[in-house]
Structure 1
Amino acid sequence: MNMTTLVDVSLTDGQTSAWNGAADTAMLLGTMNSLGHARLAAIEVLSPAVIAQCIKRDENPLQRVDAMRERANGTPLRATVNLLPAHGYLDVLAGETLDTWLRLLAKSGISEVVLIDPLLDLSRLGDAVQKAQANGLTTIAALPYVDDHEHPNAWFAACAERLAQTGAQRIMLRDEAGLLHVDRLPDLLSALRSGVNGKPLDLHTRCHTGLGPQVALEAIRLGVDRLDAALPAVANGASVPSMPLLIRSAPLLELPLQSPDQDRLKEAQTQLAAVADQEGFAESVPWAFDLSPYEHQLPGEIAAQTLHALRERGRLADLFEFSHECTRIRQELGNPPMLQPFASAIARQALEHLDGTPRFATLQPALRRWLQGCYGPIDTSLISVQQRIGAVANPDRPIHRPASDEVLAARICGCPALPPVQKLHYEMRTPEQALTHGLLQRWPDYTVLSVTGPGLSIHLEHSKG
């Protein structure tokens, strides 16, 4: 039986789900130094969510990749590419635009790409696979997992076969909503194996329902080739399973898992936990089992953001009402997949309705573009809304090619211009330094601040005049 290998996604989906993407590039360099020596199958360093986080912080995402490559020690670096961007600058990432982006990723140090088309447009995916391979990238075609009666194992097998025919070197079953369970897994993986024609089969699953670690271990037993996992500081909850947990559990269950260097993983976890402690990032904890994900089917980070929004409103008890509204919106729209760019738009639309806004009085941009036919023909019951917003005359029109790769990359990243390259530096503080830093932040609000203790005396006082 093949040995399952692990891919680390702590720096992308992990910190996005656990910390809402608050960790900047400089904060993660120490962790990357250790991960690069841990003998992992790959390390994911870039995703659409991370790109948006970088742009929001005025960081250059390609500089992030360069910095990670310098510390990777030869470990393959992976990026996730969604062919339907969520930022609104482009509706579809294809053609020369996609080719340029893949070339820039390869030049910066990416060696593997996960290609996601939420609508599973095989023509679009096939073209993306060819372009990625022409740029020297290993291609992983994603097959999104859906949990309903309309998608039996035979449907997944047929999709896997078509994805394999695109020429992709690996196929990934991608369960971003954490809906998989061990009862479904054996027959599903068997069906996928029959379709991929011997190509490696990877799994990405989340822990929304609390079942993620159990699903991951069962997938190892069933011979999945690669599995996404994360360091404990950013695992579980809306994130992926904890890597050390899988490594500890596999030998106990006599499962064929190729273990990375555990000392290096401990170093990486210590460094990441220290950043979390210094910055006040929330501790990652497992979520209790809950059936609501099977209703709303939101991807990890969007589910976490939604729960936070409901808590802020004092309406966490209305989670199932929110989940029902998500389902209702999807059905009325014509069932767009619960992936980006649609998932976050549906969640925000549902929250608006939950807050008492008349239904569809306003419309989230991605849903507007969906109803306007920008992603293809649809069958929707929202005819009056469609008539109100109008149609797009020529949704497939080619975009004007900017004068430079940099301008085109900025458009792909969803901004007018890429942020300039900057010095990346992050300093871990001693407890005394952290205390002083906190006092200095509070000092303007006080006339005098004084702290004393064993071997410690800090006195801050505004001078007169």
Structure 2
Amino acid sequence: MSMTTLVDVSLSDGQTAVWGGAGSTAMLLGTMNSLGHARLAAIEVLSPAVIAQCVSREENPLQRVAALREHANATPLRATVNLLATHGYIDVLSGEALNTWLRMLARHGISEVVLIDPQLDFQRLDSAVQMALANGLSVIAALPYVDDDEHSDAHYSAAAARLVQSGAQRIMLRDEAGLLHVDRLPGLLSALRDGLDGTPLDLHTRCHTGLGPQVALEAIRLGIERLDAALPCVANGASTPALPLLVRSAALLELPLQAPDPDRIKAAEAQFAAVADQQGFPESQPWAFGLAPYEHQLPGEIAADAMQVLRLRGRLADLFGFSRECTRIRQELGNPPMLPPFAQAIARQALEHLDAEPRYATLQPALRRWLQGCYGPIDTSLTSLQQRIGAVATPCRPINLSTDDALAALICGCPALPPFQKLEYEIRTPEQALTQGLLQRWPGYTVLSVTGPGLSIHLEHSKG
């Protein structure tokens, strides 16, 4: 049996799910130094969510890739590319726009791309795979996991076979809502392999239900080729399983896992945890087992955001009511896939309805575009709402921009890409942080003095 290898997603999905995407590029460089020497199969550094986070901080996402590449010690860097954009500047990423973006990713240091089409449009994926290959990228085609009666093992086997025909070099079973369980896994992986004809199979799963680590270990036992995981401080909950826990558990169970360098992983975790401590980022907390994810089926970071909103409103007890409303909205719309750009829009719409607003009094932009047919023909029960907002005559607008940078800015959802910046970040000891805080406050005082075990700081303005 072949050995399972690990891909680290701490710098993308991990920090998005646990820290709300607050990890800036400068904060990640020290951790990347250690991860890059840890003998991982790859490190994921970019996703649509990370791009949005960079733009909101006026960081250039391509600088993020280039800077992390310099610290990666030749470990392959991975990016996820969703063919349906979330920001509204472009609805469907295809043609020359997609080709330009893939070329720029490769130029700045990306080696592998995970291509995601939430609607699993094979024609779009065929074209995207060929473009990625032409730009020298290793191509992983994502097969989104859905937990319902329509998505049988036979469905997944046929879909996997079709993705292999597209030319993808690997297939990823992508369970962003953390719905997989060990009872489903053996039959599902067997069916997938029947369709894959030897093409490597990867797994991306989350821990919403608390079952993620168990599912990951069972996948290793069943011979999954690659598995996504994260450092402990950004693992579990809405994120992926914790990498060190998988390594220790696999060793205990004598499972065929190619373990990364434990010292490098320990150093990476210490550096990442130090950033979290210094910045006041939230600690990762495993979620207790619950059935709500099987109802709402929201991807990790979107589920985390929704639960935080409910918690801040003092309405976490309404989680199942929110989950049922997500299902109702999805059914009324004609079952858009519970992936970006639709999942977050459905979650926000459900929160509005939960506040007793008239249903669809306002409409999330992505849902408006869905009803207007921008992503293709739909069958919805909301016909009166659909008539009210009207159809779009030309949903796939031509894009004519003169430079690669201008096109990349459109893809990233901003008027212009931010300029490259000087990247500096220093981890301070508690004593250094205390001293810096005192120095910042000192001008307002005549004397500042702090004493403690092994510590004495005295600041006094000189006379004259």
TM-score by length of 2: 0.97
SS at match of 1:174: strand
Corresponding residue of 2:177? 177
CA–CA distance in 2 between the matches of 1:67 and 1:406? 18
Task: Point out where structure 1 has 5 or more consecutive residues left out of the alignment.
Answer: none
- Asked if 1 retains the 8 angstrom alpha-carbon contact of 2:91 and 2:396, the reply is no
Distance 1:434 1:106, change over 3 A: same
Q: How many pairs are equivalent?
A: 463
Q: Partners in 1 of 2:11 and 2:391 — Cα distance? A: 39
- Give, in whole Å, the separation in 2 of the partners of 1:457 and 1:56: 41
Are residues 1:433 and 2:425 paired? no
Write out aligned runs for 1:304-315 (5 A): 304-315=304-315
Letter in 2 for 1:410: A
Q: Which residue of 2 is the match for residue 368 of structure 1?
A: 368
1:383 equivalent in alignment to 2:393 = no
Q: Give the distance between the partners of 2:115 and 2:12, measured in 1 at CA.
A: 15
Match of 1:42 in 2: 42
| Greater CA drift, 453-462 or 429-438 | 453-462
Change (3 A) 1:444 1:118: farther
Partner of 1:418: 417
In structure 1, the partner of 2:64 is: 64
What is the Cα deviation at residue 460 of structure 1?
Answer: 7.0
| CA deviation vs aligned residue, 1:124-157 (integer Å, no higher than 9, x gap) | 0000000000000000000000001111111111
Return 5+ residue gaps in structure 2 as ranges: none
Distance in 2 (CA, whole Å) between partners of 1:381 and 1:459 is 72
Partner AA of 1:415 in structure 2: C
User: What is the aligned-residue identity percentage?
Assistant: 79
Where 1:141 maps in the other structure, the secondary structure is: strand
Q: What is the letter of the counterpart of residue 113 of structure 2?
A: V
In the alignment, the residues of structure 1 paired with residue 364 and residue 7 of structure 2 have an alpha-carbon distance, to the nearest angstrom, of 34
**Residue identity matched to 1:313:** R
**Distance in 1 of aligned mates of 2:443 and 2:224:** 57
Residue in structure 2 matched with residue 318 of structure 1 by the alignment: 318
In the alignment, the residues of structure 2 paired with residue 461 and residue 115 of structure 1 have an alpha-carbon distance, to the nearest angstrom, of 60
What secondary structure is seen at the aligned counterpart in 2 of 1:80?
A: strand
Cα deviation for residue 385 of structure 1 reads: 1.0
Which digits, 9 at most, give the CA deviation of each residue in 1:337-371, with x for residues without a partner?
00000000000000111112111000000000000
Determine whether 1:146 maps to 2:142: no
Structure 1 partner of 2:335: 335
Residues 315 and 441 of structure 1: CA distance in aligned 2, closer, same or farther (over 3 Å): farther
Q: TM-score, normalized by length of structure 1?
A: 0.97
C-alpha offsets along residues 229-271 of structure 1, whole Å, 9 cap, x if unaligned?
0111111010000110111011211110011111110110110
CA contact (8 A) 2:185 2:219 kept: yes
Match of 1:302, SS? helix
Please, which moves more after superposition, 452-461 or 412-421?
Answer: 452-461
Distance (Å, rounded) in 1 between the aligned partners of 2:157 and 2:51: 32
SS of the aligned residue for 1:78 comes to strand
**Pairwise CA RMSD of aligned residues?**
1.7
Query: Structure 2: how far apart are the matches of 1:85 and 1:131?
Result: 18
Amino acid corresponding to residue 174 of structure 1 in structure 2: R
Cα distance change, pair 155–443 in 1 and its aligned pair in 2 (3 A): farther
Structural mapping, 1:270-289, within 5 Å? 270-289=270-289
Q: Does 1:291 align with 2:304?
A: no
**Correspondence list, 1:13-412, <5 A:** 13-399=13-399, 401-412=400-411
Which stretch of structure 1 is more off in the superposition, 96-105 or 249-258? 249-258
User: Following TM superposition, by how much is the alpha carbon of 1:452 offset from its aligned partner in structure 2, in angstroms?
Assistant: 2.9
> Deviation at 1:456?
3.8
Query: Compared with structure 1, are the counterparts of its residues 134 and 457 closer, same or farther at alpha carbon in structure 2 (3 Å cutoff)?
Result: same
Q: Give, as a single letter, the amino acid of the residue that structure 1 aligns with 2:426.
A: E
Residue of structure 1 equivalent to 2:452? 453
Secondary structure at 1:240's aligned position in 2? coil
| Separation (CA, whole Å) in 2 of partners of 1:123 and 1:188 | 24
Q: Could you tell me how far apart the structure 2 residues matched to 1:180 and 1:276 are?
A: 30
